[in-house]
Amino acid sequence: MNDVALPETCCAEATVWVGLGRAAYLGPSLRLREHSGSVHCFALGLDAPFTINGEPGVRSALIPARTPNHLESAGGRMLFLYRDPSTAWLDGLRARMTALDSVHIGHRDELVLAEEARGGRLPLLSPLTELADARISAALRLLRADREGRLSVAEVAKAVNLSASRLQHLFSAHTGTSFRRYRLWARMQHVGAAVSAGHTLTTAAVDAGFASPGHFSDSFRTMFGLSATRLLTPATRLVVLDRP
């Protein structure tokens, strides 16, 4: 349970953290529509249980990438953690949870994790580690560094000495998500970093490779279950953990 300190959240209604391959939200429960994330998400009810895919009374859930899910909270604060997957990180979580169809629920230390978050710590969001396959780790670094989100499968495959088809196969096997969905996730992180630096959401989205504000808006809603403007209100504090 490697933690990150929560920087001065007491005055913010909600806080969003953005870093290299990781992000988090802590704040009031959000009325999320059904959505499908690009990377794995760990959800934790700090003050009350929630319902996930019709299963009530859940306090924590691990939702795999590209898995349609509908999470409903009766109230209280929620913590959502998004992180580039690694075998050790995922295996460590799953070993402490119970499988429920496509998700895992009931982390055995969920009450401790919730107490840590309430006390000023952000659990389970440790810095990234290398994957077993160095070529896929290199591909992830290339995509995270691509500010305009324009690198193609062929270009990344050539850079890591793989064929395009082999790269896509290994990418999915090692990360649990697709090349296209991960590239979208990396673009979202660049948008968050740019907004925190003072850019408008529209400018940040276009600079990150989205074809239009509408393209960004639709992609964000599909990935997170709500609009970016509803999340990034004046009452939300945006913190960059490490600059892309």
Q: What is the pLDDT of residue 243?
A: 59
Reference 128, options 120, 137, 136, 119; nearest CA is 137
Q: Given CA atoms 195, 185, 143, 214 in this order, what sign does their dihedral have? A: negative
**In order along the chain (244 residues), what is the average pLDDT of each group of 10 residues?**
42 78 88 91 94 94 93 90 80 91 94 87 69 89 89 96 96 90 92 89 92 92 91 86 64
Q: What is the pLDDT of residue 5?
A: 44
Q: What is the pLDDT of residue 66?
A: 92
Task: Tell how strand 236-240 and strand 14-19 pair up.
Answer: parallel
Q: What is the pLDDT of residue 59?
A: 95
Domains of the chain, first to last: 3-123 (2.60.120.280), 134-232 (1.10.10.60)
Contact by Cβ (8 Å): 141, 131: no
Q: What is the pLDDT of residue 127?
A: 63
Q: What is the pLDDT of residue 156?
A: 97
Q: What is the pLDDT of residue 185?
A: 92
Instruction: Output the pTM of the full model.
Output: 0.89
Who contacts 175 (Cβ-Cβ below 8 Å, separation ≥6)?
39, 65, 84, 85, 131, 136, 140, 182
Determine the residue type at 74. A
Q: What is the pLDDT of residue 21?
A: 81
